[in-house]
Amino acid sequence: MAVTQRRGRRIMMTPDELDAFLATERTCRVATVSRDGAPHASTLWFAWDGTSLWLYSVVRSKRWTDLRRDPRIAVVVDAGEEYGELRGVELSGTVEFVGESPRTGEPCPELAAPERMFAQKLFGLPEMPHDGRHAWARLTPDAIASWDFRKLGAPGRAETR
């Protein structure tokens, strides 16, 4: 076990690396708990403000229904194809719902910055377009785990433990 822990510390992202990674990646995988207790996984775009992950979800989705009933969530953002390129972050905790649902663009100071970031990052627009079908959930994570296998050294040095 000690070998795994040392390796985990070696490949963990620094806070700056984590912020840069989450600022550039677009897609996350969201895991929720269904009514029957089964996990449900789906993909979603997101924005990261340095503290919280902002999720903009269709309100008539299974994901949104699950979160309204049970706001516990786990989210993975990852990248890389080859083993030595793999990197990612897992964030978990409880979401908070921010703004009206569905979002129509009513003034909400708490959403000004995340909506601007989201619109620029994902749509290349200066402000958020609202379609009356989506709403915001904010995850300020209780736990964060990260990995960057590029820190292991040269490609081909595959460690599978």
pLDDT single digits (tens) 106-136 = 999 999 999 999 999 999 999 999 999 999 9
Say whether 89 sits in a helix, a strand or coil. Answer: strand
pLDDT tens across 43-74, in order?
Answer: 999 999 999 999 999 999 999 999 999 999 99
pLDDT tens across 25-46, in order?
Answer: 999 999 999 999 999 999 999 9
The class that CATH gives domain 2-150 is mainly beta
Buried b (16+ CB within 10 A) or exposed e, 95-128: beebbeebbeeeeeeebeebbebbbebeeeeeeb
pTM over 0.75: yes
CA distance linking residue 32 with residue 75, whole number of Å: 9
Domain boundaries, the chain: 2-150
What are 49's two structure tokens? 């403000």
Chain mean pLDDT for the chain:
91
Instruction: Scan for tokens 């795994």, then name that residue.
Output: 4
